[in-house]
Structures are given as C-alpha cells and as structure tokens.
Structure 1
Amino acid sequence: MSLSRARAAAALALLLATIAPACTAAEEEPAPAHRTTAPLAYANRQKGQLRLPLDAYGSTAAETYAVEDAQDLLMRRCMNQLGLEWQTLPRVAPGDIAPPNLRRYGVVPAEAARYGYHPRPDPPSVTRRDHAWDARGALPAAIQRAAYGTSGTGGCLKTAQHQLVGDTAPPDYDAFNRLTEAALKSSRRAPEVRDALRTWHACMAKAGLDYPDPLAAAGSPRWNTAGPTPTERRTARADAACQQSTKLVAVWAAAETRIQRRLIQRNGVRLRTAKARRDRWLAAAHRVLNRADH
C-alpha cells in the first residue's frame, strides 16, 4: 500500500475505529433442541448471497467505496480552493464488488476448478482504483502535505471529513469485528458442525486428502504460490464436492446464524449505537454523491 493510501485509510476511521470495551465472547455451543439448517445457504453462497445477522452492523465493500468517493470529491474541492489539482479515484463498477462472506467457510465451489484456493483476480475497475491509490504515493511532497497534513490525518482530508459529517464520531467497528470472529470460532465447535466436519473429513480422506476442516485446507502453506497449481485445483475441487455432498455450508451457516443472533441480543446497545453512526456517515456520503451525479 502506498504512503498516501495508508494515510487515507488510517484517516478514514470509519472502517478502522476501535473502542476499548471488550465484547461478550461466544461460548461453547450446546446442542440445539431443533437442528434446523438453512437449505438455501449453499446455493445462495454460490450466488454471493450468504448473509449473516451481524452483517447489518458491519460495512460492505460498496459502502466503503461510497464513503471514500464522497470524501474524495470534497477533498478535490478543498484542493482546488488552494489552487491545486486533485484527481478523484475512479469508481468501482457495482458488478465488480465482491459479495460478503464469500469465503467464510472455505473455498468457493464455483471458483475451485479455475482458481483453486487462490483469490479470483481483481476485476478491471478495482484494479484501476488500486493503481490510482498507488499513483498518489508519487505525488510531490507539497501536494501530499496539502492533502493529508504533516500527520497524515490533517489537511484537506480533515476538512473533507468535517464537511461530510461534522463532529460525528466514526462508527465503532471493533464490536462487529470481535463478535463476528467469536461467532465463527464458536460455530466451529457447535455439535452439528463438528458432525458435518467429520463427514467432510471422511469424504476428503476417500480422495487421499487429510485436512481437519475447509479453512485448514484453504490456508495450507502449500498454496503460497504465484498461481494455482494442478494439485491445488484438484484439492479445491474435492473440497468443494465434499462440502456439497455433506451440506456443510448449510449446517455451518445455520449454527453461526443462531450464535450471532444471541450475541446481538447481548451486545445490542453498542451495536445499535455503532450502526447509527455508520448510517449517518453513509447517508452523508450518498448526499454528496447524488449531488455530484446530477
């Protein structure tokens, strides 16, 4: 990441803010009285539509881009008032934005045969935006100071943020991050998920593969290569087939949904407060973008 992008990312506390109080951790899951699964979870994940309860309190990639874009427009106005030019970041096409939770439970079956466990290459509009961020790292020092101040959080960046939301504090995403991590860890220990993982493991063993779960398979250091190898693709295909035959994703998603709902109940006040702040940032960003587009 370039210096300018690092500064802007650090300053965009909307996405990185952390507040000290810890959240309630998820404990060992007891067996549910009725083991309901989500029959459409596997199919929906294929379409990028796997949603979990805590998603309502986080920020999607599209929302992140919206805040960045609005802030960038206000920065350009500030820089122009100083007699300086400022090239705004190219927009990311809606169809190029990755859906949430795509690899939460391991490899994406639709991508296994082609990419193995490697991520899909960035689409063109995402690549263009990344290149524009990198180009900012080569801006003259005087331009960078005007844009970010000497601290990296001042200058026109600070002005733009104040014009966007005034003194509104950035959302507290620490609550979301901690809880969603706790929910995933706890769901792996849920009895029905452990049963499904044992079945998945037995399925993989028939293909001569030995991994404790799909996350371990996806994270194997064997795949730290420039691109997917034939062995990686074969492993990923077997992994995806075993996930499908065991309905692992449906079972796992149902267990985590139950756990996340309980965590939301226990941490509702903090999550609702964070969501309200996030919504104010987003509403302000959309007002700026709508004015610019008309």
Structure 2
Amino acid sequence: MTTKKIFLLITLSCIALSSCSNTQDVQDKAATRIKISPLPRLYDGSRVALPLDSYFLSQDRLEKLDLALGVVANQCMSRFDASWPTRTHNENHILWNSRRYGVTSRNSAANYGYQAPLPQGISMESARRIEEAQKKRLDSVSEKTMAIYTGESRGGVRPPGVPSDGCRGEAYRALGLPGPDIDFQNAVTILQQRTWEDSRASPPVTAAAKRWSKCMKRHGYTYAEPDDALNDPRWSSHNNDKKAPSTPSGEIKAATTDVDCKRASLYAETWYGVEVQLQKKAIGQQGKTLADIKIKIEQLFKKIEMHTASLQ
C-alpha cells in the first residue's frame, strides 16, 4: 500500500452521539466521501486538532486556572497566617491528542518506545529535577498548613474558621466550580470518547489496521492491530521497572517500525479523517448544548483573568 492519495467511500451508520440526557442512536444512511491524504503532522508529535477541542479549556487556560486557584487559596490561607506554595507557570505540556491514534511520533518512538513521552522540551534529567522539586515543595508544608489548605488533618480536627473543604475548596467555589472536575465539560468528554470509539471501529479504520498488520509482518512482527503491539507484555515488563536506565533496543525497533507502517498504511490519517467527520456531526446535533458550554468557558475564564491579573 503506497501513500498516494486515496478516496474512501465511508458510510457512517448507527452513530450514537449522546449528551448527558437520554437520546437515541442516530443512523445516517447517506454516504460521506472523505479524502484521505498523507498528513505528516500526525507523525511529528504535534498537537492533533479536532473539532470538539474548542469546547474544552485550552492547555494554556488550564494552566491559568491552576494559577488562579493558587492565588485565591492563598488569600484564604492568609486569614490563618499561613500560605500554600505557589506553582510556577509551566510552558511545557504533553500536547493534546498527540497519542490519540496510538504511537505516531517517530521521534517519540525512537526515544521512549511505547512508553509515554515527556512533555515537550523536557529531558529525562529535567523531569527528575522537577519531580524532586515538587516533592520538596510538598515536604516543606506543615501538617497545620495542609489542614488549612485541604480542610483535613490526621487528627481529624480543622483549625477554627477553616472551611470544611479547606481553602482549596473555597478557591474552587470562588471560580464557580464544584471541585477539580470542570463538570460542564462532561457532555463534551462523552461526545469525544464516543467519536473516538466509533471511528476506531469503523470499516475504513479496521481496513487500515489490516494494512498496518501486513506491513508489520513484512518486518518480522505478528500483530493483528496496533493495540497488540502497544500492549505487548515485553514492553510492559520494562515500563514497570523504575530502575531500568533506558528503553530496550528491541522495543525501540518495534515502536519505530510501528510508526513507519502507520505512515505507509495511512492509518492515522484514516482514523483522523473519520473522527473529524463524526465530531462535526456531533457538533451539528448538539449545537445548543455545546454553545452553552462555550459561554460557561468564557465566564470561567473571565474569573480566572480577574484573579491572575496581579501575576501579569
């Protein structure tokens, strides 16, 4: 199978696109023509943009949310002559959807095999330093400070006047959130998970998986589908070994071959193309719900900006 442009006639049928309320499966009997062409950006570790992404807080906004929570929590902590270590802004992220279609970055495969990659711009040594700094940061917190922040203590007694869920809980309420879960995004999460599942099980993607399998077999690997390679027990036994100094060469070779075969079979392109169509359909069907979510995102971000203005 070459990487020349191909056209797939895809029938999208029995697509369940649900929100949080009871809905019925929607059957679309109309054929949708999707143009599948090589997309190098799907294999370079870049962020994979999907239509539903705009209904989530972006990574940058999530970072600012975390900073805002720290500001509000410390305003509460100051009433009890305490403070909570403030997180510094982190420019390094694991990019959204970068492994949505499995291991697709050859650079990641060449460095980590099937293991989860480190955030962009972070070396293994830097990751260790960050982990040590975070541990040191929390180790420096006294039991009393922890009780004020969380509302809990080992002895089960909160300092007088501390909210039942601590200053952390007060911070969430100040931003209009019930807790760590941004609950109004749950409907989008459900849609996103469903489009991932439905596109993965679609005939075009299963056909691409078969092309991938044949390619892998030509290189000496016997896997029916990409998940079989990812979940090979040989890799998991290494990944669970915290003392292992580096990824074994056998895993590196398998993972890089995996990526090469995905490119040759247009595996990621096919999956991405199908999922984009399903997400567009979901947006069309759930327009009112999603529009309300966008409004809530903007309302939340205004509160975030208000509390982080002093940090600019």
CA contact (8 A) 1:201 1:213 kept: yes
Find the aligned partners of 1:211 and 1:29 in 2 and give their Cα distance.
33
Conservation of the 8 A alpha-carbon contact between 1:92 and 1:129:
no
What's 1:72 paired with? 70
Change (3 A) 1:198 1:170: closer
Which segment drifts farther, 26-35 or 229-238?
26-35
Letter in structure 1 aligned against 2:50: L
Tell me which of 168, 174, 193 is aligned to 1:157: 168
- Kindly provide the amino acid, as one letter, of the partner of residue 222 in structure 2: D
* One of 147, 150, 163 as aligned partner of 2:149: 147
Counterpart of 1:202 (choices 209, 214, 218) is: 214
Alignment-mate amino acid for residue 173 of structure 1: Q
In structure 2, the partner of 1:219 is 231
**Letter of the 2:115 counterpart:** H
Question: How much has 1:167 moved relative to structure 2?
Answer: 8.8
Query: Relative to structure 2, which stretch is displaced further, 204-213 or 143-152?
Result: 143-152
TM-score normalised by structure 1 residue count: 0.79
Helix, strand or coil: the match of 1:36?
A: strand
Q: Which residue in the other structure is 1:34 paired with? A: 33
Per-residue deviation, residues 84-138 of structure 1 (Å, max 9, x unmatched): 1322112212xx1121110111112221112111122353489637843774366
Of 245-254 and 270-279, the range deviating more from structure 2: 270-279
Write the distance in 1 (CA, Å) between the matches of 2:287 and 2:247.
Answer: 42
SS of 1:172's partner is helix
Cα separation, 1, equivalents of 2:164 and 2:36: 47
Between 1:261-270 and 1:105-114, the stretch displaced more is 261-270
1:101 counterpart (97, 112, 127): 97
Per-residue CA distance 1:187-226 (angstroms, 9 max, x = gap): 1222222221111111011112122322332233321213
Residue 79 of structure 1 aligns to which amino acid in structure 2? M
Q: What amino acid sits opposite 1:56 in the alignment? A: S
Q: 124-133 vs 43-52, which deviates more?
A: 124-133
1:235 aligns with 2:254: yes
Change (3 A) 1:24 1:202: farther
Contact 1:146–1:155 (Cα < 8 Å) also in 2: yes
Question: Does 1:175 pair with 2:174?
Answer: no
Q: Deviations over 1:22-45 (max 9, x none)?
A: 5758779879442312543x3255
Distance in 2 (alpha carbons) for counterparts of 1:291 and 1:199:
55
* 8 Å CA contact 1:197, 1:248 repeated in 2: yes
Aligned length: 271
Q: CA deviation at 1:242?
A: 0.5
Letter of the aligned partner of 2:190 in structure 1?
A: R
Counterpart in the other structure of 1:247: 266
Distance in 1, matches of 2:255 and 2:29, equals: 31
Return closer, same or farther for 1:120/1:75 CA change in 2, 3 Å cut-off. same
- Runs of 5+ consecutive residues of structure 2 not aligned to the other structure: 1-18, 154-162
SS, match of residue 34 in structure 1: strand
Which of residues 260, 284, 287 in structure 2 aligns to 1:268?
A: 287
Given that residues 50 and 100 in structure 1 are in contact (C-alpha distance below 8 angstroms), is that contact kept between their aligned partners in structure 2?
yes
- The percent of aligned pairs where both chains have the same amino acid is 22
Residues 55 and 290, structure 2, Cα contact 8 Å, conserved in 1: yes
Q: What is the alpha-carbon root mean square deviation over aligned residues? A: 3.2
Pair 217,32 (structure 1): closer, same or farther in 2 beyond 3 Å? farther
Change in 2 beyond 3 A, CA 1:265/1:67? same
| 1:19-30 alignment, distance < 5 Å | 21-22=20-21
Single out whichever of 179-188 and 165-174 deviates more from structure 2.
165-174
Q: Does 1:90 align with 2:54?
A: no
Q: Which amino acid aligns with 1:204?
A: M
Distance 1:280 1:220, change over 3 A: farther
Question: Is 2:205–2:267's contact at 8 Å kept on the other side of the alignment?
Answer: yes
Contact 2:42 2:269 (8 Å CA) reproduced: no
Query: Relative contact order: is structure 1 or structure 2 higher (C-alpha 8 Å, sep ≥ 6)?
Result: 1
CA apart distance, 1:283: 2.7
Contact 2:213 2:222 in 1 (8 A): yes
Which range is displaced more, 208-217 or 67-76?
208-217
Distance verdict in 2 for CA 1:146–1:138, change over 3 Å:
same
- The alpha-carbon distance between structure 1 residues 267 and 220, as it changes in their structure 2 partners (threshold 3 A), is farther
1:189 aligns with 2:189: no
